[in-house]
Structures are given as structure tokens and as C-alpha cells.
Amino acid sequence: MTQVIDLFAGAGGFSTGFRKAGFAITKAVEFDASIAETYIKNHPGTKMIVDDIKNVDQTNEFSHNEAEVIIGGPPCQGFSMAGARNRDGFMGDPRNYLFKHYFNIVKKVKPKVFIMENVKGLLSMSKGEIFREIISIFSDKERLDGDSYTLYSRVVKAVEFGIPQKRERLIIVGVLNKENVNFAEIWEETKRKIKVSDKNFFDNVTLADAISNLPLPTENGIIDAPEPKTNYEKELFKEGKIYNHIKRHHSKKVLERLSKIKTGDNFKSLNENIKSIHSGSYGRMSWDEPTMTITTRFDTPSGGRFTLPDQDRTLTAREAARVQSFPDDYRFYGNKTSVNKQIGNAVPPKLAYFLANFIDNILKEY
């Protein structure tokens, strides 16, 4: 079984998709203990290292060739807008330490393949200098003791992988010491193979397809698993109890605002000055469309278009997890703020499953 290390593991979205595809996640790193708890309880077979990656980098935790794949995405806040002009500017900038330590662990382990996930804005940061510098660092034989990675990058849209949200992310894949990799052909072949085993995998999925079988939220957030009605619900269905289905109790003023907003509309329907940086603030979703990107503020009306089409409330954590494609038996631990962060920042497991199959097909040609 192919062994994988998950850096910046979060709640485990990336790992969940890779596990489903048959990979073994041997180790994971997550610095937030409350988030790590969710990972540990859902991935009991993985060694979780709860620490800052800069500390982990200084230990002997990782060794050469211990895993064939490294996955994870250093948070983009670590990338400065300058410093790519000289050789040590980018790597020497302390604001980029998250990326630096990701690189150091890749250098130490030398996996055959690594995959990074990040916001697509990374492509345009500092007029593209940051992205180009990342590509050059992993291609630099001097930095990698004579080795180098051939890089492939692509912006992926969640809706194109049968996920009911308009999430877009940049993925960067590196293959060790192999120059002629036809990434585009392997990508298309991966799609063809998945369609053979699951003809509905890439179907367009709406909000209704994703959550319409869920009952009303409960005070303790626990419900019996409802019978799935759609192909998407069948994919995520697990018998037994489902957790995290608790609604947020909005203030009277917020409820009054929500009552005035129709499906597809937002704060512009209100005759008042709403101070929000989000253009979709107080937006009401539509049943027959995917959602906007699930963020860490999916339970806040002013945070975006997260209000249900037919109820004056925002998404529950369970509903947001469904939209993110987590299986129904995936339970999130911690306080509300932590759980929202875990779900909003996760790599959708269904997208991760596709990427795992893509990596598997690359390894077969290695």
C-alpha cells in the first residue's frame, strides 16, 4: 500500500480522499490541537504530530524514502508579496516559513510525488512572482542535493468533480527525477477510469442533491442517518447516527432581515446600510444550484450566500460538511468556531479522491 504523509492536515479532508483511494496515511501534522482531535478520531491508524511544522522540521520525525507521496497546502498567509527577486529572498523571508518547512520535509523524505493545494490567487500574487519562485525552488537541483521535481499546476473547480459548490483551488504536483510526464493525458485517463467504476462521479450536483434528505436540525446536533435519495447522498451515506447538525440561533434583527430576502437575492434587497466586505452578504441559496465556496463563516448570514432557500437560517456544520463531500459518519470535534474552521478550510474529500487516483496513475508510470 502506497504510504502518504499529510502536512497541514487540518480536519483530514485530503487524507479522507486518499484513504478511500487505497493509500495509507502514515503520518499527519496539524498544529491546532482541537482540529487535530477531529483528525485523530476519524483517522485512528495515522500517527498525528500535533505541533508547529517549524518544530517538526527540526526533529528526526521524518526520514528519507519513508513515504512515496506527500500531500498538503501551506496556508497562503505565509507567502509574502515580495522577496522573489533574489535567490534567498523568498525562502529567507520569515513570513514564508510554512512553505519553507514544507519544502524542507519534501527535501528530507524525497517522495516520488508531492501535491500542494492552495488558493488560486497564488498564481497572481506579486504579479506571479511567488508562483514562479515556488516552481523554481522545487526544480532546483542545488537545493535538492542533485534531485529535482517536474512540476504541473492546474486550477480545479469543485463543481467539475461532482461537488455542489463553486470552489476553485490551485493544485501543484511534483514528480521526482522524471522529466517527460504527460500530466494532461494522465489527468484525462484518470477521469475515464473513474467514470467506468462510477458513471455518476462527475455529474453536476445541486444544493438539493446534497442536503435535501436531512431533517430539521436538533438541539444536540444528533440525528439518525436519513435514507439517501440522490446519487450524491448515496456516496456519502453511512448507517447510524450523524452528528454536528445544529443550527445557529440568529438574533431577532438578523431573522427580520432574512425574512425579507428571496431565493437568489442578498443584502441589496434590504433597505438599510449593511456593512460587509462580502458581496454575497445575507445571500439566500437556491436549491437547483451549487453553493458558493464554503468558508469558515458558513453559519454567518453576513459572511456570504449561506442562508437556506426555504428557512431563515444558515447552514449547519453537517450541511456544510455534506457540501464539502465529507462522508456522513465523519464527526467534527471542538467548539463552533473550530468546527467551522475545520470544514471551511478542508480540501473536499471527493476532490482529494480524484487527485489520489491521478497520483496513483502517475506512480504506475514511474
Distance separating alpha carbons of residues 249 and 287, to the nearest angstrom: 22
Distance separating alpha carbons of residues 291 and 270, to the nearest angstrom: 21
Using alpha carbons, select from 12, 13, 15, 20 the residue that is nearest to residue 198.
20
Query: Is 76 labeled as catalytic in the residue annotation?
Result: yes
153, 279 Cβ separation under 8 angstroms: no
3-state secondary structure of 355: helix
Q: Is 24 exposed, middle or buried (0-12, 13-18, 19+ CB in 10 A)?
A: middle
- Those residues whose C-beta lies under 8 Å from the C-beta of residue 251, and which sit 6 or more positions away, are none
Could you say which of 24, 50, 76, 222 is catalytic? 76
Task: Round the CA-based radius of gyration of the chain to a whole number and report it.
Answer: 21
Fill in the DSSP letter of residue 289.
S
- Those residues whose C-beta lies under 8 Å from the C-beta of residue 185, and which sit 6 or more positions away, are none
360, 25 Cβ separation under 8 angstroms: no
- Those residues whose C-beta lies under 8 Å from the C-beta of residue 80, and which sit 6 or more positions away, are 90, 93, 95, 96, 126, 130
Distance separating alpha carbons of residues 50 and 27, to the nearest angstrom: 11
Distance separating alpha carbons of residues 359 and 183, to the nearest angstrom: 10
25's grid cell: 496515511
In what helix (H) or strand (E) does residue 242 lie, and over which residues does it extend? strand 241-242
What are the angstrom distances between the C-alpha of 91 and each of 137, 141, 152, 166, 221?
Answer: 9, 16, 21, 33, 45
83, 89 Cβ separation under 8 angstroms: yes
Using alpha carbons, select from 117, 124, 132 the residue that is nearest to residue 167.
117
> Which residues belong to the active site?
76
